[in-house]
Structure 1
Amino acid sequence: MKQTIMYETNQKAGCLLHANELPWNISEEMRQEIINAIATLEFQRYPDTECTQLIKTYCEVASLFEKQVLAGNGSDELLGLLIGAYLGKGKTLYTLSPDFSMYDYYAGMYEAKVLKFKTREDGSYSVNDFVEFGRRNQVDMIMLSNPNNPTGFALSNAKLRIIAAAFPRIPVVIDEAYGEFYEESMRKEVECYPNLYVTRTLSKAYGLASMRIGFVISNSKNIEALKKYKAPYSVNALSQLVACVALCHAKEYQAYVEIIKQEREKLYQGLRKLSFLQVFRSSANYIYGKSKQASKLIVYLQEHGVIIRSYEDDSFRITIGSAKQNKYLLALCEAFEKEVGKCDMQQKSERPKKPIFK
């Protein structure tokens, strides 16, 4: 599935529901803490390449051991790091269709092939069929997002364990960029499966997309091996500082996550009543849908200041925004449905009547 809107999120104004960002900025309390902390920064020094304090703070929140975690410039850097470490020309990355477009990007950088397993319309898929197809094609790495981007479908830990166990000799990477919006996580399973890697980010649920902070979690042996491939100083000192402050407010962000979940359900229930589109349940902070009127809907929303993500196959993805943003979006979709209905009626009335022959 190719995107008709580029991956770069260069829109800065309007109702932005296209990049799966948190709709709220940091609190005033956090802002003041960051300002105070900046006063202690030694700007003439290189940042801590090991991200020692950042990893320590993250592990306290996530209940992990520091030796299990490597920090990077967003989880994107770490996904690319994993592909670069294990793949190359002639090797095959196995993923889903659809899934996060950056997997293809990094595989292409290292001249690796990409094999995709087609999911059902709602993003669901048979794990047994996925395993059988991968084995038959002798793949070299598995990488998939869970919850899936863009569909929002999520496999249970029990299903993901089947995948990890079925491919013991190759790395299995579970991208949990939207993990905070789902009830399960494979982070605690990394010691049970030597081939398992889990990536996380602070760009989504923590609202720090501008800071570019991500983590890869695995057993200590794998993490030590990965460090050899990572460029030094990739996470700047300011980002490390801001991330530490944000992680100290983890309970506040959990409250934001609960609000997003509630808004997700409200928006889903509202959208599913509309006749011109189909939407699917999601375990992330967005809703995925399809419509034969998708291209017209995208233009209509843009004309009214709303940006959502669109794809070439008449599908789209809507980020869950604030209550006000979601209400506005739903009202626009309802108005669009009425416009579509009027056009259909007008076209029918303008059709020439067939002559009646006796």
Structure 2
Amino acid sequence: MFNLNNILRENIKNLTPYSSARDEFQGEASVYLDANENAFGSPLDEPYNRYPDPLQYNVKKRLSEIKGVPVRNIFLGNGSDEAIDILFRSFCNPGVDNVILVPPTYGMYEVSANINDIKTKKVSLTEEFQLNLEGIAEEIDQNTKLIFICSPNNPTGNSINRDDVETLLNNFDGIVVVDEAYINFSRQKTFIQELTEYSNLVVLQTLSKAWGLAGLRVGMAFASEEIIEVMNKVKPPYNINESSQQLALKALANVEQVNNWIKETLAQRDKLVLSLKDLDFVLDIYPSDANFILVKTTDPKGIYNFLVQKGIIVRDRSKIDLCEGSLRITVGTPAENEILIDTLKNFK
């Protein structure tokens, strides 16, 4: 049975978070002399001399309307990477605890674990890029605090079997983190709809992919109110800057435009797959629920270098287990995809 206090680090339980000026006074006033800001303004057109909302309420309110999740169940981070790091710092004791990763997967989970001195136990996906539930069960011990699952998975592009994820949620006493960075491109429904059912579930999403806001660095975590309170306790006081908050709000008003981009991306993905299949050096194209495809080739390094010489950059994933011989190709605009295919037709 999952109990948050059983996995929360003792120092975090006893932590008194930093109380910023904007935490101590919330509301509107005519004169602010509490935060040691520059009272004369900033040398920019916008008034960036004031500290931003530390809990980003307006952005969360808009996200709540879009996602159908209460504000109290939303955490915003400086990209999803900050949320990942905060999960390690909140629930994993350095040099003692461990987490389970299921490679091939997003590399930042392991990097963040190493930074925090947390042991990683790796249970490779099956040949079909699905969870090895028996292998995961064998690796879980009393010090296993987190399991990271990327779905749709990066770099393979496929969605993870939903029943398998629910099996972990029902049987693991730690936290299951489902990273849904590419969920907007997927046929599978999001796990945020299951938050009320699973108190040990954390869902990560981002504005960097479908929403086209990678430069703003705004990541989201959805979880129980208890877990969100812990993450807010641990995060830096002003982790999302004012310009990112304002631009995110502006972007979140354009849901229809983003939905049209998603439809176009999916159509271009299908067209790209058909074009690549005609190339004799392409051995396989794995099914994708993301805005990229994993392509197995006869000569990944040669193809990669050839494309670089032509000013086209893809990602060589051929050295990753289960991805041998493969290149990861992001779906571009129609013009970019056409340039890619025309160029590849000249590869010898």
TM-score range relative to shorter protein: 0.7 to 0.9
Cα deviations across residues 251-286 of structure 1 (Å, max 9, x unaligned)? 210110111111111111221232322221100000
Q: CA deviation at 1:108?
A: 0.5
Return the match for 1:281 from 252, 276, 287: 287
Cα deviations across residues 108-162 of structure 1 (Å, max 9, x unaligned)? 011111111212455x224533543443796321012110001001024333212
Aligned length: 297
Q: Which moved more, 1:278-287 or 1:265-274?
A: 265-274
Q: Does 1:110 align with 2:121?
A: no
Q: Does 1:295 align with 2:301?
A: yes
What residue number does 1:174 align with? 178
- Describe how 1:53-72 pairs up with structure 2 within 5 A: 53-72=58-77
- Describe how 1:90-105 pairs up with structure 2 within 5 A: 90-105=96-111
Q: Secondary structure at the match of 1:307?
A: coil
Q: Does 1:149 align with 2:160?
A: no
Given residue 266 of structure 2, which amino acid in structure 1 is its aligned partner? K
CA change 1:126–1:106 in 2 (3 A) is closer
**What root-mean-square deviation, in Å, do the aligned CA atoms of Structure 1 and Structure 2 show?**
1.8
What residue number does 1:314 align with? 325
TM-score computed with the length of structure 1 as normaliser: 0.79
Q: Secondary structure at the match of 2:214?
A: coil
Q: CA deviation at 1:73?
A: 0.7
Q: Which runs of 5+ in 1 are unaligned?
A: 1-38, 340-358
Given residue 190 of structure 2, which amino acid in structure 1 is its aligned partner? S
Q: Secondary structure at the match of 1:84?
A: helix
Preserved CA contact (<8 Å) 2:126 2:132: no
CA change 1:106–1:203 in 2 (3 A) is same
Q: Does 1:213 align with 2:224?
A: no
CA change 1:119–1:249 in 2 (3 A) is same
Q: Secondary structure at the match of 1:306?
A: coil
Distance (Å, rounded) in 2 between the aligned partners of 1:280 and 1:310: 15
Distance (Å, rounded) in 1 between the aligned partners of 2:305 and 2:101: 31
- Describe how 1:1-358 pairs up with structure 2 within 5 A: 41-87=46-92, 88-121=94-127, 124-135=129-140, 139-167=144-172, 169-183=173-187, 184-277=189-282, 278-311=284-317, 312=319, 313-336=324-347, 339=348
Q: CA deviation at 1:328?
A: 1.4
CA change 1:118–1:77 in 2 (3 A) is same
Distance (Å, rounded) in 2 between the aligned partners of 1:72 and 1:126: 28
Q: Which runs of 5+ in 2 are unaligned?
A: 1-43
Given residue 331 of structure 2, which amino acid in structure 1 is its aligned partner? I
Distance (Å, rounded) in 1 between the aligned partners of 2:243 and 2:266: 30
Cα deviations across residues 37-60 of structure 1 (Å, max 9, x unaligned)? xx9943110111110101111111
Q: Secondary structure at the match of 2:246?
A: helix
